[in-house]
Amino acid sequence: MSEIKVPVAEPDLSGNEAAYLMECVRTGWISGMGKFVDLFEERFAAYLGVEHAVAVSSGTAALHLAVLALGIGPGDEVILPTFTMIACANSVRYAGARPVFVDSEPRTWNLDPGRVEEKITERTKAIMVVHIYGHPADMDPILEIAEDHGLYVIEDAAEAHGALYKGRKVGTFGDVACFSFYANKIITTGEGGMVVTNDGKLADRVRKLRNLGFSVEKRKWLIHDILGYNYRMTNLQAAVGLAQLERIERLVGRHRRNARLYNSLLRGLPGITLPPEEPWARNVFWMYTILVDERAFGLGRDDLMRELEARGVDSRATFCPIHLQPPYRAEYGHESYPVAEDLGRRCLNLPSGNTLTEEQIRYVADCRREIHEVRSQ
């Protein structure tokens, strides 16, 4: 085993994170209330250019609350890509509704707009769009379909902080959008998420749902108007998030610079397809994700991961399509989504974290070339 270690994703906590956390400790504001929650919400909304941002405990909680706040429930259907994190479908199930899957389009690996209308029924209430691995989905045709059929649009921008579609930040197109701040995301709170919207009533519903359905009337303290959830973000988490947000464009720029270096080092290597970036998009390359062609490269994705691990390079397989996941296979396993299934077999995430150095990227690229050359002999 190599003594060199290159992690797949590591957060950069070199800003004001420690100072803000210490302020929480000194003042005693460490739970779901405090100035950092308010500041993080206000400044995240300002960064995106939206009216409202509601901080919650995770990206999954954000999706769940978005679905509930739109009034989606039993008997309803939500269209979403099968090539994404299982939390997307789970959030629909949590609300008692039914996920309806769509294949990916092969250029950006996002939901294929051309496959959406064939899945719309009288029960369809929303389209959930995921900006996969930091590349924006093609929003214009999706928004047109939603308008034609009277559907809500939910954006899952968990992997795409700062990504642009035709010059505009993702998370600002749908009726509601959701972000994740898990430790491997471009900005992190350790665990955490955000629901954003321009609809004040929708934001109010999310705020009430995240806080156990508490009445907003002070005289009714400890009266719960609705069945709610304990999905609050702590002041400690928000303190870290605010410090991260202060450096978000620098962190996005780092991911993009790292992607350019990877591209220059891996371009032309047989059997490797580099990550996409359409002319209308700014991909933030949350993960630097490649496609591996076993015939041309000399070995498949999983074998390549083992070879990299032996050289100290951490990597990750990408999402298994949801329709093939054990909780969903019985109902959906007979369905066929060839692009998503191919991506699930061949996509690979290389080290992509905020602390990744040029030296580490060059080492990863050298390992890839070495493995290919050995297999080609």
**What pLDDT score does 372 carry?**
80
What type of residue sits at position 66?
A: A
How confident is the model over 205-259, as pLDDT tens digits? 999 999 999 876 666 778 899 999 999 999 999 999 999 999 999 999 999 999 9
User: Among 87, 136, 78, 90, which Cα is nearest to 110's?
Assistant: 136
d(CA 305, CA 157): 27
Burial class (CB in 10 A: 0-12, 13-18, 19+), 106: middle
pTM for this model (two decimals)? 0.96
Q: Work out the mean pLDDT of the chain and round it to a whole number.
A: 96
**What pLDDT score does 16 carry?**
98
Residue pair 235/32 in contact (Cβ under 8 Å)? The answer is yes
**What pLDDT score does 129 carry?**
98
Domains in the chain: ranges and CATH = 17-245 (3.40.640.10), 248-376 (3.90.1150.10)
- What are residue 11's DSSP bridge partners? none
**CA quadruple 106, 112, 113, 115: dihedral, nearest 10:** 120
Six-digit token string for 304: 């390549």
Profile the chain (377 residues) by mean pLDDT over runs of 10 residues: 83 98 98 97 98 98 98 98 98 98 98 98 98 98 98 98 98 98 98 98 97 78 91 98 98 98 96 97 98 94 97 97 98 98 98 97 95 74
Containing H/E element for 58? none
How many CB atoms within 10 Å of residue 248? 17
How many CB atoms within 10 Å of residue 174? 26
